Amino acid sequence: MPFLHNRISRTELKQRIEADPTPRTTISFYLYTPIADPVTQRDDWYARMSELGVLGRIYMAEEGVNAQISVPTNHLDAFRSLLYAYPGFDGLRLNMAVDDRKVSFYVLDIKVRPRIVADGIGDPDFDMRRKGRYVDAGGFNRLTQDPDTLVIDMRNHYEFEVGHFRDAIEIPSDTFREQLPMAVDMLGDRKDRNIIMYCTGGIRCEKASAWMLHNGFSNVFHLEGGIINYVRQVRENGLENKFIGKNFVFDERLGERISDDVIAHCHICGKSADTHVNCAYKGCHLLFIQCEQCARELEGCCSNDCREAHRLPEAEQALLRKGARRPHNIFNKSRARMKDLSRRDP
């Protein structure tokens, strides 16, 4: 079967979804499970989920599935029935968004990849079936009462920057594949300590827990369902919330408010702020944190240069993007790029 794709432009699809009053629910889920023929299953999922009006981003590989999607709320039961009918998926936990007030996705993309999380692991003896122990919100809170428990954040720096668990240790790298060996090196002299690994929805910390066990660590836990499931359990069961700030999410919302704490700063002026935006100039599209005042003054751009380019007619902007006058801001979420942005005058 040929690759299935949207024939309507993303711009038109976005306009349609924003104008559609149908209530939608944002969901994330993942599963490490063998998939013999990801291409065939991808095409099958695309056809069936399109019929239900599912939007979002799904990665499929021989090792499993990783999904962030939006489902019409009145089709939730039908979606569960569809998903649970596939071998291995029956009863799979679905993480419902904590803050679902905005439209999260506008199209449905299902892509086949070598891995559902790019990990860089080449060791043939590594086995995902030997992974750390799940810990729920209550268990997490109990374990972290012990000051010897280490809480390890397995997300990227721009996620950690706007929100994280109290006393969490950041693994300071730009990609998950860099984090795995770095975590082993950073914690190498504490292999007998209780270690809890966490991430947004659980997929990265589950693999990281297996990697730590593979490298000789003995008491490894990972937060079941990640931050999203933790917050839901905390709110449903009246537990103490140990997460401060925002939870960064990989959709149009770019963040879910978890606590009232604002722990980050505007990358332009340094004021307290934790709102992620993409530079409005299409030739840049840099992801960065911007306060309301800088957003007004720079018209949603990350610098004066990008603001001036954004003001040009579309035809002239297209010439810039082709390289006739290449702007200095190329989309890059790296730590080094953020430091460079903060040192510049806007």
Please give the positions annotated as active site: 199
CA separation (Å) from 161 to 156, 165, 288? Answer: 9, 11, 11
Q: Which helix (H) or strand (E) holds 306?
A: helix 304-311
Q: How many CB atoms lie within 10 A of CB 98?
A: 19
Q: Which residues pair with 108 in a beta bridge?
A: 56
Q: Which residues pair with 196 in a beta bridge?
A: 151, 221
CB distance 123 to 207 below 8 Å? no
CA separation (Å) from 101 to 32, 256, 258, 329? Answer: 30, 10, 14, 31
The residue written with tokens 């919100």 in the block is: 137
CB distance 266 to 294 below 8 Å? yes
Q: Any long-range contacts for 117-120 (C-beta under 8 Å, 24+ apart)?
A: 117/66, 117/176, 117/203, 117/204, 117/207, 118/175, 118/176, 118/177, 119/176, 119/177, 119/180, 119/207, 119/211, 120/177, 120/178, 120/180
